[in-house]
């Protein structure tokens, strides 16, 4: 090859590299938005709970997927069954819509479905979704609940259930109430706990004899301290609406010996649950499972911040270190949903039948 040709090609390569360097150095603002900055992640329950556990895993791994590699700090803000933190973010109280404060929340569909006045914001209008995550919930009870439990279906024989919860309007409490009412079981709610850790402490001290938990705290707290010690036993995991429109469960949890709610009901009563109260329970389960966690910026946040966080959040799904860390804690692989899928769940909530909304209103106000 003639020397002139070599020099020409080398010059071309050098020019191309120089052009790329110019592009990189003059990258769009989004590439530098979080450089040298701190992102505060508001969590709507207390330290030691399910959402807190997941948020801390997220905070360890997310920064490397965000241009500028920001520092992420967790701000636990419990209260009002998770609604206090949601209001603070949506109303820009104690923060601004500047991209530096986001929310990582447990989603309770109860409040928006019944127009709960404690929820001061409209999630689909006041939030910009970054993404979300699915998640299953397991109910469990003390084995010494009178007259004693040997198998999940024995719950139908108990004299009185004292279940622990967060607030009457929380999805956690509402689903337990509906599940017990569909079974026509006597219960009393002991509510107002700030986190799953506090509920499990009360459970171990026999202040309550039943509750439920999503998988992070169930696997990390309940299994070693309650199930493996013989204090308690799993009762069921909540059913969701399958592709065929019928109730369905999680095969992995069934394999672990945690039956789906509908199967426990069938074993206890010889038939499948039905009626509007069960329909309300199933819908609540479906929404709360398919969007158990939501990641949001407030309305008006910079477009660059939204774009960076969305890309970074979705990149976590393919991060082997994050997946391994998450699976080590929860015994489940993370199952993220996109911002568009979050919006579809919001749309589904708006389309809920009035009869179902009324069942939920009665349950919370009863």
* Cα separation, 95 vs 362, whole angstroms: 35
pLDDT, tens digit (0-9, with 9 covering 90-100), for 120-144: 999 999 999 999 999 999 999 999 9
Q: What are phi and psi of 39, to 5 degrees?
A: -100, 120
Contacts of 286 (CB under 8 A, 6+ apart): 240, 241
Long-range own/partner contacts, residues 24-31 (CB < 8 A, 24 or more apart): 27/67, 28/304, 29/304, 30/67, 30/303, 30/304, 30/305, 30/307, 30/308, 31/67, 31/68
- Angle of helix 171-182 relative to helix 276-290, nearest 10 degrees, comes to 150
Q: Give Cβ neighbours of residue 328 (< 8 Å, ≥ 6 apart).
A: none
d(CA 79, CA 86): 10
Question: φ and ψ at 160, to 5 degrees?
Answer: -160, 135
Tell me the domains of the chain and their CATH numbers. 30-134+291-365 (3.40.190.150), 137-286 (3.40.190.10)
Between 1-10, 130-139, 333-342, 357-366, the lowest mean confidence (pLDDT) is in 1-10
Q: How far is CA 71 from CA 11, 177, 204, 262, 314, in A?
A: 41, 40, 37, 44, 18
Token pair for residue 362? Answer: 């009665």
C-alpha angle 49-70-53 in degrees, rounded to nearest 5? 10
What does the pLDDT read at residue 2?
40
Mean pLDDT of 259-272: 97
366 CB-near residues (< 8 Å, 6+ apart):
none
200: its two tokens: 């499990």
Consecutive H or E run containing 104: strand 101-106
Is pLDDT of 205 > 80?
yes
What's the mean pLDDT when you consider all of the chain? Answer: 90
Between 217 and 146, the higher pLDDT residue: 146
């Amino acid at each position: 090859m003639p020397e002139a040709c070599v020099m020409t090609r080398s010059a071309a390569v050098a020019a191309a590299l120089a052009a790329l360097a110019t592009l990189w150095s003059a990258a769009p603002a989004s590439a530098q938005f979080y450089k040298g900055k701190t992102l505060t992640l508001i969590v709507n329950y207390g330290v030691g709970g399910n959402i807190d556990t997941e948020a801390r895993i997220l905070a360890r791994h997310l920064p490397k997927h965000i241009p500028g590699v920001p520092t992420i700090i967790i701000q636990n803000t419990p209260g009002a069954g998770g609604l206090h933190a949601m209001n603070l973010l949506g109303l820009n109280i104690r923060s601004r819509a500047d991209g530096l404060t986001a929310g990582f929340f447990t989603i309770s569909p109860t409040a928006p479905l019944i127009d709960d006045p404690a929820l001061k914001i409209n999630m689909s209008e006041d939030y910009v979704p970054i993404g979300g995550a699915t998640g299953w919930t397991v109910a469990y009870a003390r084995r010494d609940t009178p007259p004693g439990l040997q198998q999940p279906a024995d719950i139908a024989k108990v004299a009185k259930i004292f279940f622990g919860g967060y607030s009457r309007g929380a999805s956690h409490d509402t689903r337990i109430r509906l599940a017990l009412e569909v079974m026509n079981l006597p219960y009393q709610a002991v509510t107002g706990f700030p986190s799953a850790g506090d509920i499990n402490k009360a459970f171990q001290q026999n202040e309550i004899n039943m509750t439920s938990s999503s998988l992070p705290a169930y696997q990390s707290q309940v299994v070693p301290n309650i199930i493996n010690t013989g204090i308690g036993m799993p009762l069921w995991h909540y059913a969701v609406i399958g592709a065929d429109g019928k109730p369905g469960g999680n095969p992995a949890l069934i394999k672990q010996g945690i039956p789906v709610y509908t199967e426990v009901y069938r074993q206890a009563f010889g038939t499948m649950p039905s009626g509007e109260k069960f329909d309300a329970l199933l819908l609540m389960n479906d929404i709360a499972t398919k969007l158990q966690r939501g990641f949001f910026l407030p309305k008006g946040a910079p477009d660059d911040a939204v774009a960076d966080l969305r890309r970074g959040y979705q990149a976590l799904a393919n991060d082997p270190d994050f997946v391994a860390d998450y699976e080590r804690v929860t015994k489940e692989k993370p199952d993220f949903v996109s911002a568009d899928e979050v919006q579809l769940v919001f749309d589904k909530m708006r389309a809920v039948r009035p009869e179902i909304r009324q069942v939920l209103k009665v349950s919370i106000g009863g």
